[in-house]
Amino acid sequence: MSGLRNNRDYRLLWTGQVVSEAGFSTTMIAFPLVVLAITGSGVQSGLVVGAVAIAQLAAGLPAGAFADRWSRKRIMLGCEAAQAIAAAVLVLALWSDVAGVGLLVAVAVVMGVCRALFEPAEEASLPLLVKPEEVPSAVSLNAARTSAGQLSGTALGGFLFSFGRFVPFVFDIVAHLFAFVSLWFVRLPVRRATASRPPAHLGREIAEGLGWVWRQPRLRVTTFCVVSLNLFFSAYYLVIIVLANGRGMPSGEIGVMAAMLGAGGVLGALAAPVLYRKVSPYLLIAGVFWALTVLTPLAIFVHSGYLMGLLFAGIAFLPPAANTAIGTYQLLNTPDELRGRLGGVLGVTGGLAAAFGPALGGWLVEALPGSAAVLACAGAIAVVTVFTTFNPTLRGLPATSEPLEAEPTGK
């Protein structure tokens, strides 16, 4: 990663975003606490937190098209500024004791839309900021950044809330302003004009992005792998938490389990570039799924929260390597004029998996005894493992970037 350490622009982007991620995670912890303090309603707390995810999903596909149509740096700067302004409005309302659920929902929607816009713009910019051989390291470091920001922000949110309802949002303002300034100094290369025609209708541009992903077998299969991994892992996580609670594990041990899950993800993201250089993408993806197939059923036999935390850490250590292989292939083999829309498609499919995963886990623990629910998740992962092992398209995934034959995006 020495090349990235010497890459001034990537360092600025990465540093700003790890702080921004911490600010966002702080806000996500503070939102339900504020709503409970104002209304005492758990339902309304869920409404505010859910508004972020709903807005992000609704804006995902258009956001990808905008990332291909507009200046990506300006999109990212606008998102950081908008989030800082929204948090400032909320701070003033809380300070004046006039904040209501409606305002909290509006701020949550702004944050969800900004995340939907920012992510494809940033992902599409990576191949312009770093050398092709450094893309795997950049992809994995971005994953580590997200995990580190979530860990620190989650811990900080509750602590800051104890000093006042508005204090976590003050930190969020500072975080987004810091990220804005960092982004301002990033020298993102000017993109070459990809077509002489004016921008198409937004719906047509979105359809082009969806069509691109669907027509490329390797993009289609690797996207399925990522969605499956996110869906079943998020379901498995909820099943284990319910199982641990049912076995009478203290809440402190359950908290340690969650922290070790996050720590395993950070370490896995840091190790992912090394694994990517030593193992072919196909073996890396299939190997991760096989390891998860073996490890996930072990939770049935673990009754200690600390041992379960170690199991969680081991499980979380693995997916970043597969995600790095998949993300690198997808970025390097998608034309620049379509990378934003690729990011929009991946953001929406990943968001749907993250939303449906806990719902699936909740249904499993209601319908099945704890151990059977664990085995159901493990069985589903095993089915995907067999698919990845014998899928000819995935087996043909090249070890190095191999350009795809792009179909024209305009008629």
pLDDT in 10s for each residue of the chain, 411 residues: 557 878 899 999 999 999 999 999 899 888 888 888 888 877 787 788 888 888 999 999 999 999 998 999 999 999 999 999 999 999 999 999 888 889 999 999 999 999 999 999 999 999 999 988 889 889 888 888 888 887 788 778 878 888 888 999 999 999 999 999 999 999 988 776 544 445 668 888 888 888 888 888 988 898 888 888 888 888 888 888 778 877 777 767 777 777 788 888 889 988 988 888 888 889 999 999 999 999 999 989 988 878 888 998 898 898 888 888 898 888 888 898 889 999 999 889 888 887 788 888 888 888 888 789 899 989 999 999 999 999 999 888 886 544 444 444 443
> What domains are defined for the chain?
1-185 (1.20.1250.20), 201-400 (1.20.1250.20)
- Residues 6+ away with beta carbon under 8 Å from 377: 232, 235, 236, 239, 296, 361, 364
CA distance 325 to 328: 5
CA distance 203 to 75: 19
Instruction: Quote the pLDDT of residue 402.
Output: 47
Residue indicated by tokens 């929260």: 305
Instruction: Quote the pLDDT of residue 408.
Output: 41
Instruction: Quote the pLDDT of residue 38.
Output: 86
CA distances from 349 to 56, 139, 334 (A): 11, 18, 18
- Where do runs of H (alpha helix) occur along 40-134? 42-69, 72-95, 101-129
End-to-end CA distance of the chain: 42
Instruction: Quote the pLDDT of residue 99.
Output: 85
CA distance 132 to 299: 40
**8 Å CB contact between 136 and 276:** yes
Residue 368, sorted as left (phi over 0), alpha (psi -120 to 50) or beta, turns out to be beta
CA distance 395 to 269: 23
Residue indicated by tokens 């190997």: 287
Q: Give the pTM.
A: 0.84
Asked whether the CA dihedral 10, 12, 17, 18 is positive or negative, the reply is positive
DSSP state of 379: H
| Amino acid present at 288 | V
Could you read off the pLDDT of 65-90 as tens digits, one per residue? 999 989 999 999 999 999 999 999 99
Closest CA to 113 of 54, 44, 154, 182: 54
Closest CA to 328 of 220, 401, 394: 401
Residue indicated by tokens 């950049």: 138
CA distances from 301 to 240, 296, 350, 374, 382 (A): 12, 11, 31, 11, 19
For the chain, give percent helix, strand, coil, nearest 5. Answer: 85, 0, 15
Instruction: Quote the pLDDT of residue 1.
Output: 58
What is the CB-side half-sphere exposure of residue 379 using CA atoms within 13 A? 7
Could you read off the pLDDT of 193-216 as tens digits, one per residue? 544 445 668 888 888 888 888 888
CA 83 to chain centre: 18
